[in-house]
Structure formats: structure tokens, C-alpha cells
Amino acid sequence: MYTCSYCNENGHSINKCKHPDIEILQEKIKKDAVIHYYCMLKYDFNFLLYSLKLLTIPELRIISYKNKLYNKLSYKPNKLELQKYLFFLVEYFSFENKESITIPYLNNNILWDYATDIHRLIHKKEVILVYMDIIKISPRPFVYNIELELVKSIEDNEMNNNYKCSICLESMIDLNICLMNCKHSFCSNCIKMYLGSLYKYSNDYNNYYPNCPLCRTYISKILINDYDSYRYFSSTFIEYFTPGYFNSISESSIVKIHNYENKFYYSENHEYNIEEEEFSPYNARIHLPRNILLFSYLQNIIINNITIIMNMTSILQCWVFFIGTVYIVHVCSKHEKEPPVCDLEEIIYI
């Protein structure tokens, strides 16, 4: 019986393996290839070779079978064979010698991790500057119409709530603060995660407008007292990505086609080489009022709360029935004529 050298399960060999981690590995390499091209153009650094060296031998072998490559890696390769195979994979996945670039969606957290790695490996730019560079590569799911203002400090009388963030309940005395137009303040990390989490409510047909997490007032302006947080918010949530980004940073006269796996939102002021979908009333973008979208967002919360209340009601009914049963069962002949301490009907309405 065969035993797969990748997943260690019986019944199949590595060339027939369909473990779900293989697809995750494949997607990571696609993202690594995009960052690799950026590093080659900006710093002449082989990021793809660095990332491939971190993989195990079974992971390197499964890449060949997944992509149906002619070059295979043996079960126990020597150093020379491994080195040749790694350079083969770099050439296969990199975009230097290709006419087009396939760009998957790179979310904010993944991009920040990439920026941290690049800073640690190259030491030429601080993390936030690298992040502000690579976030221009992939389109954001949504661009918020929020005015950002960098301030030196936020006065106590400007804030409605106390010194604790209403989301994480941590003290904001030593934290970076975001003050909304409604005068509610939160730590910048919570607002960063909040605005990022709203991406899942955005699609090609609806615009989701962010509201204050506390009072649900539409967020039109945010005051930020930290420069790095201001740059992060501006580049992530306010500015559009750059279509054809690699053509703008490359010194070559050759123009590469940028193929985006997820279109998301594109600025109407930018030109990009993507075929428009055939017009249809069913494909037309619908702009819904903020109140309707807010109701849609809160609908699930209301339904969940009603479900919780109904469950609590059922539990309370069972509890009342149990008390009534215990009362009936444990009344002895000596005390059965004595009045009960609490009437059963009173228990029901407690």
C-alpha cells in the first residue's frame, strides 16, 4: 500500500495527493511571486528564493506535481540537486521574463507581514514605507470617503468617552488615539481592525459606509495623533491602488499586462487594461442609501438577539416547570395544608 510522503496518509502516493494544504501552499507562492517581482525591481533581492528555502522537501516536491512540472525533486536530494530545483522554481514562478503579471488579492495583514520581512531582510526602508509601497500593487475591496487629519495631540475636552477604548477596554493614555467626528475615541489598532473587517460587507454592487462602533454615526472624519497610524490609514483605506503598478516602477520600456484576480473597486479616474463586462441590468452597480445598508447590517444582529431571547425563554420555562415539579413531589402529608412560601404563578412572573 502506498503512503504519501507529503501528508503521510495511506492509500495514495505524492503525485495523487489532494490534501487541502496544497492549495494553500500554491496560493502563498503566487503571492510570494508578486512580492518577489517588487523586491527585484526595487532592491534587486531574490525574495522568492528566500521563501522557497523555508519550505520542507515534501512541500517542494508537491509543488512540482501540483503544477505538472517536468523537473521533479527526489525523495532525498543532495545539495546540488536541491539548489538547481530551487532556481528552476524561481524562474518558473517569477514574472521577469513574462509578458503579464497575475496579481492575487493581498489583504492588509498579509501585506504588513511581507513589509516586515522585507525590512528585516534588506534594512533599506522602515516597515511602514515598504507597506505603503506594496499596498499599491493590489486593489482594495473598498476605498472609504473619510477625511483624515494628523494632529499633535487630542485634548480631553474633545472626547465624549473616558480614557478607555470602548472596543478593547484598554487604557488609551499611552496608545495612539483615533477621534471620530461624533467625538467618540478609540485606539488606532481597534479602528484599523474595524475598518478592515467591513471589507467583507463590500462587493461590486453595494457601497458600505462605516459608522462609529459606539453610536453608529457615519464616520466622515478621523483625527489621529500618530504619524505612522496616519500613514497606515491613509494608504490602506483612503487611497486607491495604482493600476499597472509595476510598469510605473520599472526602468524597462516593456509594458507588462496586469491581470487582477479580484477587481474590487477601481477609481473611475484611472485607466486600466481590463475588459469591461457586457452591460446588463443585472450587472449594473446599485448605490444604496446608507440607512438601508445599515439596516441590512444590523438585521443579522437583531435576529441573533431574538434567537438568544427565545432560547432564554425556553430555559426559563423548563426551570419553572422543574420548580413546580419539585414542589409537588416533596410536599409531605405533614405540611401539605401549610400555605406555600411563594405561589407558582408568582414564580412564573419573577
Q: Does residue 94 surpass a pLDDT of 50?
A: yes
Domain 141-238 annotated CATH 3.30.40.10: yes
How far is it, in rounded angstroms, from Cα 236 to Cα 195? 10
Mean pLDDT, to the nearest integer, of 328-345?
49
How far is it, in rounded angstroms, from Cα 33 to Cα 342? 74
How far is it, in rounded angstroms, from Cα 125 to Cα 285? 40
How far is it, in rounded angstroms, from Cα 124 to Cα 50? 17
- Please report the pLDDT score of residue 329 as a whole number: 45
Rg (alpha carbons) of the chain, rounded to whole number: 29
- Which range among 4-8, 231-235, 288-292 shows the weakest confidence by mean pLDDT? 288-292
Q: Could you tell me which residues are beta bridge partners of residue 260? A: 103
pLDDT in tens, 169-196: 888 776 788 899 988 889 898 998 888 8
At residue 257, the 3 state secondary structure works out as strand
| Confidence label for 5 from pLDDT (cuts 50, 70 and 90) | confident
How far is it, in rounded angstroms, from Cα 213 to Cα 123? 38
Ranges of each domain in the chain: 1-139+242-275, 141-238, 290-348
CB-count exposure of residue 179 (10 Å: 0-12, 13-18, 19+): buried
- Please report the pLDDT score of residue 201 as a whole number: 58
CB-count exposure of residue 39 (10 Å: 0-12, 13-18, 19+): buried
> How far is the first Cα of the chain from the last one, in angstroms, to the nearest whole number?
67
Residue listed under C-alpha cell 400555605: 339
